[in-house]
Structure 1
Amino acid sequence: MGTNPELVALMLADARLPTGGHTQSAGLEPAVLAGLGADGNKLGEIEEYARDRSRTVTRVEAGAAVVARYFALSGLELTPVERAWAARTPSQALRAASRRQGRAYLRLAGRVWPGVLEHLPGDGEIARPVVVGVVGAVTGLSAVQTARLIGYEDAQTVVAASLKLLPVDPVDAACWLTALHPEIEELADAVRGLTGPGEIPACGAPLVDVFGQKHAAERMRLFHA
């Protein structure tokens, strides 16, 4: 039997997958250290933070994943997609974190879906959205499913990290994630038709970049990024 794309999407969205997702906070930890959530007095800011990411940095990642999927399906070299993503990710620390996580995804994919290695080198440090896009191509994920996966995973990363960083009721966290569903769907719809690196959104979030750079130099931290 062939791979079921819906089950692949569920598998990739599962935080228990060995890709290092538990080490990431999607920038929430440095944002909390800078005052986000006000020590538990303004927890609603977490949902707004995730929503702001969906409109900016996550849109870049989702666009890169959709274009990478298209390139892989078309048999094209993926370096231009990686370069376009890097040009839209100003923080060196965040680029490095994404490439380390991409390496973990690539290690997993090379064992579970060996066809991925026909498009990417098995020992490469390649941006996570590019690897996810290639996995999507190999496993039959649609462009919408690929973009939705990126959007959901980012929101879920923020929400899951909030449970470790602030006094958050897990039920409230689930409510925030549910409230973000329309935002995730809008994101997926906005990037589903992209086919070229130049079409990848260039939506900036300067504070996310600043926080990422500062966090990389922190000696005491719970999350890698």
Structure 2
Amino acid sequence: MPPHPELLLMLLADARLPAAGHTQSGTAEAALAHGLAAAELPGYVSARLASVTCVEAGTAVVARAVLLRSGGTAQLADVAAAWAARTPSPALREAARVQARALLRLADRLWPEAGALQAVRELIRPCRAVVLGAVAAHVGLGAAALARLVGYDDVQTVCAAALKLVPMDPAVVTGWVHDALPDIDQLAATVAELTEPASIPAVGSPQIEAWAQAHAATSRRLFRA
């Protein structure tokens, strides 16, 4: 019997998952270094959900849809290309591809028989969202649940990093995550019905992208991105 979808969501959203998530701050480290106040992080989280995270979630949902209708590597490559076109920052693209490699390695260990993952393996440096879409297609995770996973993971990444970067009460930061849950649900509703690469949202955030590029150029950092 396959695991219950809610339990799979808990597994994939676990910060202890060996998929390089602990090396990321969601660009929060760069934002704080360039003048964002700690008190402004809830707004930063909302801005990410409406922009770069929306692109990630849409990409994952479309990758899942392509694989469920028996799409092969060529169709999945179109999804990856659409994601890259909507992610203009080389630093953000590189971070997503590094995480994808770690996540794919874990997925191969957990589901070595997964046909959906074979198409991803044949791509040249896929992004994390495409790998997540393939995992969702294999384990039977629904589109809305997958989108919520992407959104929740992003919020948790920023908030967990914030606790390492600035002195704060963990209860306050947990409250930020709680307060972001409606925005995560809205994100899921926005992208859950997407099925084609062209329908992936093209929503950018020039400031986040600029911070990501600046962060990539510094050697004094705690997080990779």
TM-score above 0.5, yes or no: yes
Asked if 2 retains the 8 angstrom alpha-carbon contact of 1:69 and 1:136, the reply is yes
Residue 22 of structure 2: aligned partner: 22
Q: Distance in 1 between matches of 2:163 and 2:109?
A: 32
Q: Distance in 2 between matches of 1:46 and 1:117?
A: 35
Residue 40 of structure 1: aligned partner: none
Q: Distance in 1 between matches of 2:117 and 2:133?
A: 13
Shift, 1:126, TM fit: 1.0
Mapping of 1:57-68 within 5 angstroms?
A: 57-68=52-63
Asked if 1 retains the 8 angstrom alpha-carbon contact of 2:117 and 2:131, the reply is no
Listed one character per residue, the Cα deviations across residues 29-58 of structure 1 (whole Å, up to 9, x for unaligned) are 000000111xxxxx3311110011001110
Moved more, 138-147 or 121-130: 121-130
Residue 193 of structure 2: aligned partner: 193
Residue 70 of structure 1: aligned partner: 65
Residue 78 of structure 2: aligned partner: 80
Mapping of 1:125-144 within 5 angstroms?
A: 125-144=125-144
Unaligned runs of 5+ in 2: none
Per the normalisation by structure 2, the TM-score is 0.95
Residue 216 of structure 2: aligned partner: 216
Mapping of 1:96-175 within 5 angstroms?
A: 96-114=94-112, 115=114, 116-121=116-121, 125-175=125-175
Shift, 1:119, TM fit: 2.4
Per the normalisation by structure 1, the TM-score is 0.95
Shift, 1:124, TM fit: 5.0
Show structure 1 runs of 4+ deviating over 2 A. 116-119, 122-125
Unaligned runs of 5+ in 1: 38-42
Aligned residues: 220
Q: Distance in 1 between matches of 2:97 and 2:51?
A: 19
